């Protein structure tokens, strides 16, 4: 199994290092990731400047690794279409992200967008994130991803799917098991902080605290709160089929 790894925390983040090392036990690993942190980039791609690729020494390993001055989606696109043109990966894995990617937030996530880009190119993918930023180690999550990667590779029937994993940061003994979940709802309040510069002009920081909203009991948010590993299958077809029939009934002549 050939595995392409990316992330949005940058190629020198701890999460991608531990993930790549662990995955060597299940397949051939190639890393292509942003040269710096690119969080919250959503599904941006770079069209106004060209992309540079540097083949680098990846920490203390001999893993084939490319550092790219682009977004997570750029990295996956460029790796699959150009760098690995004649040896396409069987699976793409993005992470391990330093912090959760839950519910509505996945739409802003660089980690998830790297995985979505792979799915658009018909390669099944995994996005993996730690349930909070209070982590000192990623090993358990990386071992879990190895298991899931093998399951996906041998099942071979998850076309168009991204498997979004959020891994609890409690101790190993406290983890209750695995839950297959749907995306919950994440909204923020007080989402901007206004400040004044030394010349008295305003500027705004995006900020905000997560609102305590009613969640579906199947959701990723509830699973993680209860110390379950959350696995949400996601896709990239945004068609709103429920509304489709409603709009069809509108009179467009009037």
Q: Binding site: which residues?
A: 8-9, 39, 97
| 227 counts as binding a copy of itself under rule CB under 8 A | no
Query: Which residue in the block uniquely carries the two structure tokens 């180690």?
Result: 137
Sign of the four-CA dihedral 177, 178, 181, 185: positive
Secondary structure class of 165 (helix, strand, coil): strand
| Smallest distance, a copy of itself to C-beta of residue 160, A | 7
| Binding-site member from 56, 84, 175, 178 for a copy of itself (CB under 8 A) | 178
Secondary structure class of 163 (helix, strand, coil): strand
Q: Under a CB-based contact definition with an 8 Å cutoff, are residues 141 and 128 in contact?
A: yes
Residue 2's DSSP bridge partners are: 28
| Binding-site member from 7, 111, 169, 232 for a copy of itself (CB under 8 A) | 232
| 55 counts as binding a copy of itself under rule CB under 8 A | no
Positions 81 through 140 that interact with a copy of itself (CB under 8 A) = 81-82, 104, 106-108, 113, 116, 120-121
Helix 14-23 to helix 139-155 angle, to the nearest 10 degrees?
50
| 67 counts as binding a copy of itself under rule CB under 8 A | no
φ, ψ at 146 (rounded to 5°): -55, -45
Judged by beta carbon, residue 57 or residue 195, the one nearer a copy of itself is: 195
| 29 counts as binding a copy of itself under rule CB under 8 A | no
Closest C-alpha among 172, 125, 124, 152 to residue 7: 125
| Binding-site member from 195, 196, 212, 217 for a copy of itself (CB under 8 A) | 195
| 44 counts as binding a copy of itself under rule CB under 8 A | yes
Q: Which stretch binds a copy of itself (CB under 8 A): 16-24, 56-64, 135-143, 232-240?
A: 232-240
Q: Which stretch binds a copy of itself (CB under 8 A): 19-27, 90-98, 135-143, 200-208?
A: 200-208
| Smallest distance, a copy of itself to C-beta of residue 254, A | 8
| 200 counts as binding a copy of itself under rule CB under 8 A | no
Cβ neighbour number for residue 93 with a 10 Å cutoff: 32
Q: Which residues are annotated as a binding site for a divalent metal cation?
A: 8-9, 39, 97
Secondary structure class of 236 (helix, strand, coil): coil
Cβ neighbour number for residue 51 with a 10 Å cutoff: 15
**Is beta strand 209-210 parallel, antiparallel or unpaired with respect to 188-189?**
antiparallel
| Smallest distance, a copy of itself to C-beta of residue 60, A | 27
């Amino acid at each position: 199994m050939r595995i392409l790894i990316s992330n949005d925390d940058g190629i020198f983040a701890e999460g991608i290092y531990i993930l790549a090392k662990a995955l060597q036990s299940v397949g051939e690993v190639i890393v292509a990731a942003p040269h710096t942190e690119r969080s919250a980039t959503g599904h941006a791609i770079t069209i106004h400047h060209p992309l540079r690729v540097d083949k680098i020494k990846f920490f203390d390993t001999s893993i084939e690794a490319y550092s790219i001055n682009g977004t997570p989606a750029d990295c996956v696109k460029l790796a699959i279409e150009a760098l690995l043109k004649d040896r396409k990966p069987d699976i793409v894995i993005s992470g391990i992200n330093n912090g959760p990617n839950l519910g509505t937030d996945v739409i802003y996530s660089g980690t998830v967008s790297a995985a979505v880009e792979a799915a658009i190119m018909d390669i099944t993918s995994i996005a993996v994130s730690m349930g909070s930023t209070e982590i000192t180690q990623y090993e358990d999550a990386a071992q879990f991803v190895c298991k899931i990667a093998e399951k996906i590779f041998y099942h071979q029937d998850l076309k168009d799917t991204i498997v979004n994993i959020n891994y609890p940061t409690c101790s190993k003994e406290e983890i209750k098991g695995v839950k297959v979940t749907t995306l919950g709802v994440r909204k923020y309040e007080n989402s901007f902080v206004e400040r004044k510069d030394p010349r008295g002009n305003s500027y705004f920081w995006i900020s905000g605290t997560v609102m305590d909203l009613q969640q579906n009991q199947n959701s990723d948010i509830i699973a993680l709160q209860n110390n379950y590993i959350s696995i949400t299958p996601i896709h990239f077809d945004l068609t709103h089929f429920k509304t489709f029939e409603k709009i069809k009934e509108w009179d467009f002549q009037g």
